[in-house]
Structure 1
Amino acid sequence: MKWFETALVVLTLLTGVIWLLDRLVLARRRARKAGLLEPKEPVLVDYSRAFFPVLFVVLILRSFVAEPFRIPSSSMMPTLLIGDFILVNKFSYGIRLPITNRKVIDIGEPARGDVVVFRPPHQPDQDWIKRVIGLPGDTVEFRDNQISVNGVPFAYQREGTYEGVGRGREMTGASLYTEQMPDRAHEILHIDQAAPFHLGEGTWTVPQGHYFVMGDNRDRSDDGRFWGTLPESQLRGKAFLIWMNVDSSAPGWVDWGRIGQGIR
């Protein structure tokens, strides 16, 4: 939602300039003209003075602390469901300027397994979410629904058959696996059906300053297998919390059990 970020910055600057200009110049002029009478404050100034502090606080929190996002697709199931509202830590990977996303303070870098929000190179106006698989310098291979990094395959344990709810019902019947990375584990989905070929198979070498990302729903994810590596400059932050889940196709609409869950 780059348009929202742009609008927030423009409105904050506009109301701030109006409020400051009135405080330093225009208010004094009105007072001199009014004489003994109480000067009347213009409506635009009144609204600017009221909204600027609110817009400023929202801009600071959203740009540098935490930003809310909504999950619109099934690409990160079963970790994230359609209708999940999540919070993204905006300073995990450095302080970045709004709109331009330029990093001005370097704090940290993504670790393998992090769930990250980013703007893909081919869709720079959209915010996507995937999991980091390959780090700079890695060689990532995806064959027969299994990942190897630098020649070392991840371990897989089948946990059963997945049963989806709401808009995620289409994934009912898929196989649920635990994918074991070197230092963390998470769940993924595969559709175990006979096919003449596996989509997205290949080998990728991750350049310096780039990352290789994939969705946890391996057969329903448009990720690095199809458009390549992700430049570090496109990162937005690290997803860390589900604060709400609303799916009008699910019984009761709200899944109260997901509220407050951490994202691993």
Structure 2
Amino acid sequence: MPLFKTDRTAAAKAPKSKSREWADSLIFAVVAATLIRWATFEAYTIPSPSMENSLLVGDYLFVSKLHYGPITPQTPLQVPLTHQTVWGTGLQSYSELLQLPTYRLPGFSEIKRNDVVVFHVPHETQYPADLRTNYIKRCVAVAGDTLEIKDGQVYLNGRPGVTPPGLQTTYFMQVDSPNDEVLAALRAQGVVEYGAPDGAPQVRPDANGKFGYEISCTKAAADYFRRQPYVRSLTVTEPPVRLFPDAADFTNSGASSATPRNWSLDSYGPLPIPKKGQTIALSPANAAIYFKIVARYEHNEGVTWKEGMIYQNGKMLTSYTIKQNYYMMMGDNRHNSEDSRFWGFVPEDHVVGKAVLIWLSIDPNADFWHRIRWSRLFDIIH
């Protein structure tokens, strides 16, 4: 016995080979980086103009998961099982997907109105939540609020909400003569058309055949253009779209509200935001609002949509108790943002974190010498 014990001690103290040291260091670095990314901060970039002018295409952000608390993985695990065949000829091996409960670790802040939030987009039902596309929007209403939009102004519980300083609206700007002077003014006011050469807005006709520019800009820029002699008119444009909850399930099914509201992007609501523990009396007048919550977000079995009502296992539901908090998210580029007005509420377990800092900003339309937007580096996100 003593000999065996001495051999174990000697083996334990044997020095590691160089390759083993490198392998251990690499594994440690990968695990540490993964944990830091999951639990603290993660870097993102802005690929689309839906949050302009608050965030710009080409901004690189740090998103804090410490604010709301990191969330445990939501991807189902593949669990190997054994299964007796029908004919009793032996054991057949296969895997089953096991969905573990989702849990959010404590954070030092709740999700607040006007927070700029990164979240898993709710409508990509072909993937688990944490494998979906990440969106970034502004939280305009929290659980328990009633949201309404009148003439583009957000109202919460009957009172005007805060207007973000970078909020943009889309206009058609009719001009006497499209020329380089007009383009220079557009550029100076930060008006960009991504996908166009050099980001310069393109001349196009409106519905009446009058020529001008369709632009997205802040109120300050719109007021500037109204004062210019070359501008004949500046009118708000809003695309005709079918919004939530008339389209109860966005593009995933044909579920439609039994009582259409015909809301628009600038005239929307009132819409109550569901809160955990709240019991809802369901009727054809409101069932479309809660269909995805019952059928998808809260993992109930046997839920279907039939003739404007929610059914579970063939029985019509007349009431339902909400299991988690929900939020309304909207882009600051209000006419160029696919957001909660299209696909409804964002569940709390889809929220990734809070955008806190721009650490780099690259203008995709600038030349090499002006590509970095130096004034935006290390800006705090509001």
Q: Do the two structures share a fold, i.e. TM-score over 0.5? A: yes
Matched, 1:59 2:175: no
Deviation per residue, 1:168-227 (Å, 9 max, x gap): 65598434138xxxxxxxxxxxx9435586436421210010011100000110111111
Equivalent-residue separation in structure 1 for 2:60 and 2:116 (angstroms): 14
Query: Which structure has the bigger radius of gyration?
Result: 2
Identity percentage of aligned residues: 32
Inter-CA distance 199–112: structure 2 relative to 1 (3 Å threshold): closer
Within-5 A mapping of 1:173-252: 173-177=215-219, 192-194=235-237, 198-199=264-265, 201-203=267-269, 204-208=271-275, 209-251=325-367, 252=370
Using the TM superposition, give the Cα deviation of residue 249 of structure 1 relative to its aligned residue in structure 2, in angstroms: 1.8
Equivalent-residue separation in structure 1 for 2:360 and 2:103 (angstroms): 30
Greater CA deviation, 238-247 or 159-168?
159-168
Equivalent-residue separation in structure 2 for 1:236 and 1:194 (angstroms): 33
1:79 alignment partner in structure 2: 54
Greater CA deviation, 131-140 or 121-130?
121-130
Inter-CA distance 195–249: structure 2 relative to 1 (3 Å threshold): closer
Please state whether the residue corresponding to 1:174 is helix, strand or coil.
Answer: strand
2:230 alignment partner in structure 1: none
Deviation per residue, 1:63-95 (Å, 9 max, x gap): 111110011100100110001000011110123
Is the 1:63–1:98 Cα contact (8 Å) retained in structure 2? no
1:128 equivalent among 135, 138, 142? 135
Is the 1:242–1:258 Cα contact (8 Å) retained in structure 2? yes
Higher helix share: 1
Inter-CA distance 239–155: structure 2 relative to 1 (3 Å threshold): closer
For structure 2, which runs of at least 5 residues remain unmatched after alignment? 1-7, 76-101, 170-185, 202-212, 221-233, 241-263, 276-324
* Paired letter, 1:223: D
Equivalent-residue separation in structure 2 for 1:196 and 1:245 (angstroms): 30
Within-5 A mapping of 1:1-264: 28=11, 45=20, 47-98=22-73, 102-105=103-106, 107-123=108-124, 124=129, 125-154=132-161, 162-165=189-192, 167=194, 173-177=215-219, 192-194=235-237, 198-199=264-265, 201-203=267-269, 204-208=271-275, 209-251=325-367, 252-264=370-382
Equivalent-residue separation in structure 2 for 1:159 and 1:226 (angstroms): 18
Please state whether the residue corresponding to 1:75 is helix, strand or coil.
Answer: helix
Inter-CA distance 166–50: structure 2 relative to 1 (3 Å threshold): farther
Equivalent-residue separation in structure 2 for 1:105 and 1:92 (angstroms): 9
Please state whether the residue corresponding to 2:353 is helix, strand or coil.
Answer: strand
Equivalent-residue separation in structure 2 for 1:153 and 1:133 (angstroms): 11
Give the TM-score, by structure 1 length.
0.70
Using the TM superposition, give the Cα deviation of residue 153 of structure 1 relative to its aligned residue in structure 2, in angstroms: 2.4
2:286 alignment partner in structure 1: none
Equivalent-residue separation in structure 2 for 1:136 and 1:39 (angstroms): 56
Equivalent-residue separation in structure 1 for 2:371 and 2:358 (angstroms): 16
Inter-CA distance 194–228: structure 2 relative to 1 (3 Å threshold): closer
* Paired letter, 1:176: T
Equivalent-residue separation in structure 1 for 2:268 and 2:372 (angstroms): 39
Inter-CA distance 82–62: structure 2 relative to 1 (3 Å threshold): same
Give the TM-score, by structure 2 length.
0.50
Is the 1:174–1:192 Cα contact (8 Å) retained in structure 2? no
Using the TM superposition, give the Cα deviation of residue 130 of structure 1 relative to its aligned residue in structure 2, in angstroms: 0.4
Please state whether the residue corresponding to 2:49 is helix, strand or coil.
Answer: coil
Using the TM superposition, give the Cα deviation of residue 39 of structure 1 relative to its aligned residue in structure 2, in angstroms: 8.2
Is the 1:86–1:241 Cα contact (8 Å) retained in structure 2? yes
Equivalent-residue separation in structure 1 for 2:122 and 2:137 (angstroms): 14
Inter-CA distance 68–246: structure 2 relative to 1 (3 Å threshold): same
Equivalent-residue separation in structure 2 for 1:255 and 1:150 (angstroms): 39
